[in-house]
Amino acid sequence: VYVDRSGELLSLKQIFEAMKITDYYDLNIDMLDEPPEEVFLKTDNHIGGRFFAEILREVMNDLKESRYQNAELRLSIYGRSADEWDKLAQWALHHGLTEFNDNVRWMIQIPRLFDLDNFQTFLDNLFRPLFEATIDPSRIRICSCLCSRVPWCSITIPGTGRNGRRVSATRRTLTTCTTCTLTLVPLNALRRERGLQPIVLRPHCGEAGPVHHLATAFLLADNISHGLLLRKAPVLQYLYYLPRCPWPCRRSPTTACSCPTASPLPDFHAKGLCVTLSTDDPLMFHFTKEPLMEEYSIAAQVWKLTNTDMCELARNSVIMSGFPHERWLGPAYQHEGVLGNDIRYTNNLPNVRVAFRFENLLHELALLPPLIRGRELTAGTAACR
């Protein structure tokens, strides 16, 4: 049973009749729009998110049986009310989804799917429960159980406003990313004092929209998701390359008109950018019980990746994840170059590849000081004139 926006109770048969689906053979990915998502993949629907929780438990059980696969699962917090965190935490605890903390981390997505009458209220609804759960976990025990397993905070920013009115994408991106970054600074300071993992900002950038979203994320966020539009901005590619800013990039297209061979990921990887493979909506777009292995196996065949390439992509995946890095990369993983590569942990990534990447990076970094000094001399000469 599903409750639509008018409050009417609808059965699954009535929902499919409204969508003009008479046979389950007629179902396809393009039809999986808002109504089926709200019926099956929401935590606050009429059945209390039970169906979604059962699917997640099955996925988590598969991860628990696997030794080398973990997942960062994405849940949404909209900021519409002050009790969203409590409801989400109660849903996770009620269905036993916090029992798999060794294999799962939760990534909180903040979709901007509605217009705001008061931006401060939006921020309070998002971050006040996090501050309260961090300061006094015993008083807000339910919320703190979920918050302790959240390493990422993701922002999704659409480009349209109320009634289809176009809003300033630049202003919306800058405002949201800036305020979230400034709010996370004191929050993460509190979490570090209490031995909790800091929450990292990872906005969705570069999948669609203006290219300058990537520049905003470079200045304000720790890393990004997608980044496909970097192929159109070589300067931004270079900016993301120099600090080795990591980001996940999917191989499988989410639309029928996309072509996997048109993905820029192999080009990014060949240039030395810190990219890796990831899944996107695996419950909708993948065909096997191991969607990540599906991504790697197909990518290896389509792009002719070598074993060394696969090991490097897997290492990049661990670097940008919210799981303990020492366990998977070794205690010296923070050292640059070969010193930080322990082949006993990094799935036999050769030292030759690591040294090659590090030497190229040092060469590029050595080119910058003369250019900066030259610009300073030019600016000083112009000022004297």
Q: Where are the domains of the chain?
A: 41-202
Q: Which of 67-81, 97-111, 215-229, 338-352 has the lowest mean pLDDT?
A: 97-111
**Region class of 45: left (phi > 0), else alpha (psi between -120 and 50), else beta:** beta
Instruction: Name the residue among 110, 283, 81 with its Cα closest to residue 181.
Output: 110
What distances in angstroms separate CA 21 from CA 14, 50, 283, one per listed residue? Answer: 10, 24, 20
Mean pLDDT of 318-342: 88
> Which of the residues are catalytic?
226
Neighbours of 252 (CB within 10 A): 21
**Is residue 32 predicted with pLDDT exceeding 60?**
no
Backbone angles phi, psi at 249, to 5 degrees: -140, 130
How confident is the model over 2-15, as pLDDT tens digits?
Answer: 555 566 677 777 77
**Is residue 288 predicted with pLDDT exceeding 90?**
no
Mean pLDDT of 82-93: 87
Residue predicted with more confidence, 38 or 245: 245
How confident is the model over 333-347, as pLDDT tens digits?
Answer: 888 889 999 888 766
pLDDT at 164: 44
Residue with tokens 């639509």: 4
Backbone angles phi, psi at 280, to 5 degrees: -145, 115
> Using 50, 70 and 90 to split pLDDT, how confident is the model at 63?
confident
pLDDT at 1: 54
pLDDT at 381: 55
Residue predicted with more confidence, 365 or 96: 365
Per the CB < 8 A criterion, the answer to whether 187 and 131 are in contact is yes
Give the predicted TM-score (pTM) of the model: 0.82
Mean pLDDT of 256-283: 79
pLDDT at 316: 92
How confident is the model over 167-200, as pLDDT tens digits?
Answer: 455 567 778 888 889 999 999 999 899 888 888 8
C-alpha 317: how far from its chain's center?
12
Pairing of strands 200-201, 225-226: unpaired
Average pLDDT of the chain, as a whole number: 80
